[in-house]
Amino acid sequence: MNEYRVGYFVGSLSASSINRVLSQALIRLAPDGLAFTEIPIGDLPLYNRDFDVDYPPEARALKQRIAESDALLFVTPEYNRSIPGALKNAIDWASRPWGTNSFDHVPAAVIGASPGAIGTALAQQSLRSVLSFCNARQMTAPEAYLTFREGLFEDDGTVTDASTEEFLRSFMTEFRDHIERVLTVLPRR
């Protein structure tokens, strides 16, 4: 079985982020053949195209981490019906300088949790639009909009509800299959 390196983004910078716990749950439930590394976004300066001629070290590291990933997973909250600015900022850095878009043809999936009833649906639509422009090869189904309630996850990412656990497990299995399909046609290395 092939092993794929998955870089994952957590869209929240909060120390108590429910999306960070969700990312740990997804890693726990992932099938064999996926190895995960977080791609941090919290230390990036604000994107400014004046730096395109000489990227700062944090942005170089971001692009390097994406280059070392076979696929990308975005686990994000919804802020004001879109994605957090920190995540958009990271995507802007990685998409540039012109001609070196780090997302080109990279398999990707999006997921998120919020206490709200629509479970980050609008943030994910917004993110999908951005990733589409960046030419990432997104998994379109299944979609995963999680309404968070207290106690759904333990701190280590253990899921306490059996049907949610099964759903997240199948999401990750589908993601692995998606990665394999994309990379069969568009190898990364």
* Site residues (vs ligand FNR, CB under 6 A): 12, 14, 17-19, 77-81, 114-116
Residue recorded with tokens 């990685």 = 94
Q: Name the residue whose CB lies closest to ligand FNR.
A: 116
Q: How far is CA 10 from CA 78, 80, 87, 112, 187, in A?
A: 12, 17, 8, 9, 25
Residue recorded with tokens 């990412």 = 157
Least Å from the CB of residue 23 to ligand FNR: 9
- Write the CB contacts of 3 (distance below 8 Å, at least 6 apart in sequence): 33, 34, 35
Assign 3-state DSSP to the chain and report helix, strand, coil percentages, each to 5: 40, 20, 40
DSSP 142: S
Q: Which is nearer to ligand FNR, 9 or 103 (CB)?
A: 9
Least Å from the CB of residue 3 to ligand FNR: 28
Least Å from the CB of residue 56 to ligand FNR: 25
Q: Which is nearer to ligand FNR, 8 or 79 (CB)?
A: 79
Least Å from the CB of residue 11 to ligand FNR: 7
Q: Which is nearer to ligand FNR, 12 or 95 (CB)?
A: 12
Single-letter code of the amino acid located at 176? R
Q: Which is nearer to ligand FNR, 87 or 91 (CB)?
A: 87
